[in-house]
């Protein structure tokens, strides 16, 4: 299990993340609202402006005040690089 720190002492299992996206687009705003209504939203912003939205394989949506690039830097590197996984040398 790979753990990533998403701010304010909160941790997420990086192996369960499908995407880390910006919260600015209308479809992502709708996704946040729908998951809030279903009880599948985890708000880890602590009242700060949302910087990134993480979508998990369980359907949960996690909000963080850290930006998408900052979250991506904190995710531990996978065992295979993208080029190795795709068979590209």
Question: 22-53: per-residue pLDDT in tens?
Answer: 999 999 999 999 999 999 999 999 999 999 99
Please report the pLDDT score of residue 78 as a whole number.
46
Percent of the chain at pLDDT exceeding 90: 78
77 falls in which pLDDT band (50, 70, 90)? low
Q: How far from the centroid of its chain's Cα atoms is residue 38's Cα?
A: 18
pLDDT surpassing 90 at residue 81: no
C-alpha R_g of the chain: 14
Give dist(CA 54, CA 23) in Å, integer: 10
């Amino acid at each position: 299990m790979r753990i990533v720190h998403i701010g304010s002492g909160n941790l997420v299992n990086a192996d369960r993340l499908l995407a880390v996206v910006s919260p600015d687009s209308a479809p992502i705003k709708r996704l946040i609202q729908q998951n809030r209504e279903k009880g599948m939203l985890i708000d880890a912003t602590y009242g700060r402006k949302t910087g990134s939205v993480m979508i998990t394989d369980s359907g949960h949506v996690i909000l963080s005040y850290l930006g998408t690039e900052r979250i991506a830097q904190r995710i531990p590197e996978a065992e295979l690089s993208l080029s190795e996984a795709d068979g590209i040398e």
